[in-house]
């Protein structure tokens, strides 16, 4: 079961060249947020706990909506039977941007499906993590909230950028001659 769940993640990393670029901007933003939060005192312990709880709650809601959106994209993609989808399935991806997986170059359809599946699995893992944090946050020391928030900022930005890429690819799929 474990390996089935992680297949979209392993295929995503196996097929992308320069995948680190998708992590660079979220990493810079999250480290900057962490640095600023360490540098400046943002309030009393009660205020920090309250803000952190609201942040985690908001993240749970946002990620649940993103999961629904991503699953809807997968549904549209796999149930659509128009000429553009057929062409995606027949067109090989660029060897400059994508590596072969299991000795075979991915089709553009597989690239798009890989993006979305990776995003769904990442979102679900992140949602489970957020729920766990929400349930056990009372045992964390206050200083740890800054680090957890930084990790949350990194993860949500990464998810949003991959989702943005997927939406752009879907847009181009249904746009004639792009």
Q: Report pLDDT digits (tens) over 79-135.
A: 877 887 888 888 888 888 888 888 888 888 888 889 999 999 999 999 999 999 999
Report pTM: 0.88
* Across 140-166, average pLDDT: 92
pLDDT band at 35 (very low <50, low <70, confident <90, very high): very high
CA distances from 175 to 11, 36, 82, 97 (A): 27, 43, 12, 22
| Predicted pLDDT at 64 | 95
Residue 2 pLDDT level (bands cut at 50, 70, 90): low
């Amino acid at each position: 079961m474990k390996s089935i769940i992680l297949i979209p993640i392993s295929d995503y990393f196996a097929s992308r060249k320069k995948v680190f670029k998708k992590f660079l901007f979220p990493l810079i933003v999250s480290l900057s947020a962490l640095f600023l939060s360490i540098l400046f005192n943002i309030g009393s312990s009660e205020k920090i706990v309250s803000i952190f709880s609201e942040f985690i709650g908001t993240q749970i809601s946002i990620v649940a909506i993103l999961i629904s959106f991503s699953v809807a994209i997968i549904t549209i993609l796999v149930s659509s039977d128009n000429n553009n989808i057929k062409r995606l399935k027949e067109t090989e991806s660029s060897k400059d941007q994508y590596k072969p997986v299991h000795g075979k170059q991915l089709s553009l359809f597989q690239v798009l499906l890989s993006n979305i599946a990776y995003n769904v699995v990442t979102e679900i893992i992140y949602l489970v993590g957020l729920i766990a944090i929400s349930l056990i946050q009372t045992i964390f020391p206050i200083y740890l909230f800054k680090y957890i928030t930084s990790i949350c900022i990194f993860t949500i930005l990464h998810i949003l950028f991959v989702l943005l890429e997927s939406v752009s690819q879907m847009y181009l799929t249904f746009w004639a001659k792009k």
